[in-house]
A and B are shown apart, each in its own frame.
Chain A
Amino acid sequence: MAARGRSRRTLSFSVDSVGINRGESLPPTLQQPTPVFPVMEQKPLPLTGGEEAEYLLALKQDFRGAMRSLPCFIQPAAALRDVERYSDKYHSSEHTDGLMDWTPDWQRFPRELRIHARKPARDGVSVARSDAQSAQKKKKKKVREKEEVLIKLETLQKKEEQQSEEDDDDDNTEQKKKQEDDDADGDEEYDEEEFEEETDYIMSYFDNGEDFGGDSDDNMDEAIY
């Protein structure tokens, strides 16, 4: 409203044409969004039943069910569960069978959509010849690489063995003895510590201060902290 109209009770539109009479109050202002499910004043009509409607319904549900079993129903690999389970290894091969059932006519699709099947276990259901050859080549390459790695490892191992034979003949015996001693000491210490006074605490952990004062008898010059 303009400032001039502050004292006068005029509205910006003519009252008659819109149809508000004197004394009638305007409807209350809305102060929140309209409800999500407003109340319906009229009840809706019931659905038309009849044979045709039922047959159409049956057709629809059958169609939906049939589509789920066709190869064009693509399901991604099942999501990983929270914990790896032993049976995952055996379940993963179940779902992927449907994908290869359908052999499309590749001339009707752009070349970039061709998927090369890389399953050496399958006997070439829908793998083109060139694809099989490239798969074989890749397998050969991998095998060759593996062989090379194995050969390298063998040579390294032989070298190590030769070195160790020359140098460590003596060391080996010494080491063996040391190990035995250590083991024995360990056992003794173990027994000593654990069972000396039948406590739960390992004795070496507790320092009872006997060594403290004895060491400093030689040098009186140094301060004792």
Chain B
Amino acid sequence: MTAQEVRLCGLLLHEHFGEVVEKVGTHLLRSGAQNLRTIIHETGLSVDLVKKSLMVLVQHGACLFSSGRKGPGSPTEYRSGCDRILRILRYPRYIYTAKTLYGDTGELVVEELLQRGHMTMSGTVKTVADRLTQNMEEGRSMDYSEVSSAFSKLVETHFLQRCPNPAAGATPAAPGTPAAPASAIPPTPESFPDCYKVPHMTLVGRGKRQLAAEDGEDQRNAKRQKMDSEAHGDEGIYWQVNFERFHLHFRDQAIISAVANKLDQTSSEIVRTMLRMSEVTTSPAATCTKPLSANEIFRSLPASYNIPRPILDQYLTLLVDDPMEFVGKAGESGGGMYVVNLHRALANLARATLESVVQERFGSRSARIFRLLLRKRHLEQKQVEDFAMIPAKEAKDMLYTLLSQNLVQLQEIPKTPDYAPSRTFYLYTVNQLPTARMLLQNCYKTVANLIERRLFESKESKRLLEKSQRIEAILASLQASGAEPEQLTEVEEMITAPEKQQLDALKLHINKLDSAENQVDETIFLLESYVNSTATSTG
């Protein structure tokens, strides 16, 4: 939990849940596991507000509670982690992926679940059907069964999962609970056998359109009460978005697009086929996919690609020989057994990211030195100048700049035990993993700065924004009640031309800053996946 991460989490919580939740959340992040009384005392907020914030955090999975450390009688402790809150940056990407895979229905299902945290299947289906009906033409409405089928498809491909039941810490006095209190680790959703089972649900009906008329409202209220009292057979089963599955999907997409950029479209199709075939058989933390024979790959290629068998073999050989090492050969049976090297691919993608960062910040010659050091590991100053073919003075300058930015490290090799400087070798080196971690922290700081700048810009022009909002509201109400064009133009002219220019410039800046956040998040995803993959392989 670094300072940059906590700062970014605080800003994200403030934007999405308000400042009360931000206070409680950052306090939990900084202080670790605490019980309710301590939180109330140290944040200085009222009891009700703290309770509500904790409920919101638990509902969205940002906070976990468990029975206290001192045994079953001690008060429940709440603990929070940065990872879950940092996912908020990636929500637009999740929703967009659901849209590309399962259409508008899937997109709305995922969006509802992200907004609410945990929801039952019946609740989600109803809300999504209502929203879809809202956007359809008059007289048409969305059937619940369509939405349910989209939901089931998402569950089958593991994009949605059931929430784990709260641990025994929820009711410490309840008898008959399993021996869960003994373990300090909360159960993961995967540890439940029914994790991906769609419940049998009786839900028949169509989406309801929100009526503007008054009596429609009364009817709706009456209907709402009636529906709330109906049971749909899935009480107590809550669903959440499975972020890990989305991350696997993003990782596969990154590998496929890297292959497409480096080689060509056909090779990327081959790699896509290989990854699709091993979706179910590969565990999330695997170093490489299960070996696939060339025969299987040939049979599973999409029908639109009519590649004859020898050409496929040539493509596979090319992929294996490529220095990026995306695909490896694991044997000769079945026409050749091939694997996709997932961890190595991630490491190479992270390395490419580091190189491009150096190139964009310091120039192509510094990037040449950086790449040289990555490949040759340890080099002396003289050797750097020779291999990079850069004049000595400039090479020295660039090396010192990189050293001061901590992208390059100095390794001392003493000839004598007293480390005398005149009798010590000084070698320059680059360590990929620590450098990647450092850049990841820089990315978090970047996003936090972008958010702060955006808030600053909106605060500066707050008066102007409020005025434009009021005028829009007036315009909308005038149009709804059917006003003449002169009245509309009169209201529009209440905003003067320079103010309009200012508003346009402000909108442009805010859009740019938001878009930049999305792009930095892509880099964050790559670097995080790389750092996590090394953690699992070594630990």
- Which A residues form the contact surface with B (CB < 8 A)? 12-14, 17-19, 41-42, 44-45, 47-48, 52-53, 55-57, 59-61, 63-64, 66-67, 70, 72-76, 99, 104-105, 107-115
- Nearest chain A residue, comparing its CB with the CB of B401: A41
Residue numbers in A under 8 Å from B381 (CB-CB): 17-19
Chain B residues with Cβ under 8 A from A13's Cβ? Answer: 421-422
A residues less than 8 Å from B76 (CB atoms): 110, 112
Q: Which residues of A contact B49 (CB under 8 A)?
A: 74, 76
**Is B111 in the interface zone, CB < 8 Å from A?**
yes
Give the distance in Å from the alpha carbon of A99 to the alpha carbon of B20 in the complex.
13
> What residues on A are CB-neighbors of B55 within 8 Å?
104, 109, 113
How distant is B361 from chain A, measured CB to nearest CB, in Å? 6
- Between A and B, 10 residue pairs with Cβ closer than 8 Å are A14-B423, A19-B396, A52-B96, A63-B115, A75-B20, A105-B238, A107-B166, A108-B58, A109-B65, A112-B36
Contacts of A57 in B (CB 8 A): 92, 511, 514-515, 518
B216 at the binding interface (Cβ < 8 Å)? no
Given A53-B518, A61-B514, A109-B170, verify A67-B17 contact (CB < 8 Å): yes
Whether the Cβ atoms of A47 and B516 lie closer than 8 Å is: yes
B409 → A minimal CB distance (Å) = 16
B512 CB contacts on chain A under 8 angstroms? 47
Chain A's closest residue to B57 (CB) is A72
Report how far A44 CA is from B112 CA in the complex, Å: 37
Most B C-beta atoms less than 10 A away, residue of A18, A105, A108: A108
A60 to B94, CA, bound (A): 11
A45 touches B56 (CB 8 A): no
A12→B424 CA distance, assembly (Å): 12
Q: What residues on B are CB-neighbors of A19 within 8 Å?
A: 381-382, 392, 396
> Nearest chain-A residue to B21 (Cβ)?
A74
B519 close to chain A: CB less than 8 A: yes
**Roughly how many angstroms separate A5 CA and B362 CA in the complex, as a whole number?**
39
1/0 contact trace for B41-60 toward A, CB 8 Å? 00001001101111110111
Asked, given contacts A19-B381, A57-B515, whether A115 binds B48 with beta carbons under 8 Å apart, the answer is yes
**Per-position 1/0 for B476-515, Cβ under 8 A of A:** 0000000000000000000000000000000000011011
B381 CB → nearest A CB, Å = 5
Give Cα A61 to B114, complex, Å.
14
Interface residues of B (CB under 8 A from A): 15-21, 36, 45, 48-49, 51-56, 58-60, 65, 75-76, 91-93, 95-96, 111, 114-118, 163, 165-166, 169-171, 236, 238, 360-363, 380-382, 392, 396, 421-423, 425-426, 511-512, 514-519
CA distance A106 to B322 in the complex (A): 56
Chain A neighbourhood of B514, CB < 8 A: 57, 60-61
Asked, given contacts A104-B59, A110-B76, A110-B169, whether A66 binds B115 with beta carbons under 8 Å apart, the answer is yes
A6–B62 alpha-carbon span in the complex (Å): 63
Determine the distance from Cα of A92 to Cα of B349 in the docked complex, in whole angstroms. 55
Q: Which residue of the partner chain, among A52, A74, A114, contacts B53 with CB atoms under 8 Å?
A: A74
CB-based contact A74/B20 at 8 Å: yes
A111 contacts B171, C-beta separation under 8 Å = yes
A63 to B514, CA, bound (A): 12
The answer to whether B166 and A108 touch across the interface, beta carbons within 8 angstroms, is yes
Chain B minimum-CB-distance residue to A56: B92
Whether A59 touches B96, Cβ cut-off 8 Å, given contacts A53-B518, A75-B18, is yes
Q: What are the residues of chain A within 8 A of B360 when measuring CB–CB?
A: 42, 44-45
Q: A109-B58, A112-B76 are in contact. Are A47 and B515 (CB under 8 A)?
A: yes
Closest to B24 in A: A74
Q: How far is the CA of A74 from the CA of B92 in the complex (A)?
A: 23
| Contact in complex: A42, B362 (CB < 8 Å) | yes
Nearest CB on A from B240, distance (A): 12
In angstroms, Cα B392 to Cα A47, docked, is 35
- Taking CB atoms, residues of chain A closer than 8 Å to B96 are 52, 55-56, 59
Given A74-B21, A76-B20; A63-B92 close (CB under 8 Å):
yes
In the complex, how many angstroms separate the beta carbon of A35 from the nearest chain B beta carbon? Answer: 14
CB < 8 Å neighbour of A59 from B20, B58, B95, B361 = B95
Q: Which of chain B's residues have a CB closer than 8 A to the CB of A109? A: 55, 58, 65, 166, 170
Are A70 and B516 CB-contacts (below 8 A) given A109-B55, A111-B171? no
A108 to B19, CA, bound (A): 24
Q: How far is the CA of A67 from the CA of B92 in the complex (A)?
A: 13
When distances are taken between beta carbons in the complex, the residues of chain B under 8 Å from A44 are 360
Beta-carbon contact of A74 and B18 below 8 Å: yes
Known: A47-B516, A61-B514, A110-B76. A74 touches B111 (CB 8 A): no
Closest Cβ neighbor of A52 among chain B residues: B96
Question: Once the chains bind, are B20 and A14 in contact (CB under 8 Å)?
Answer: no
Q: Chain B's nearest CB lies how many Å from the CB of A79? A: 11
Question: Once bound together, how far apart are the Cα atoms of A53 and B521, in whole Å?
Answer: 12
The residues of A that contact B58 with a CB separation of less than 8 Å are 108-109, 113
Please list the 3 inter-chain residue pairs (A to B) with the smallest Cβ-Cβ separation, ordered nearest first.
A13-B421, A14-B422, A59-B92
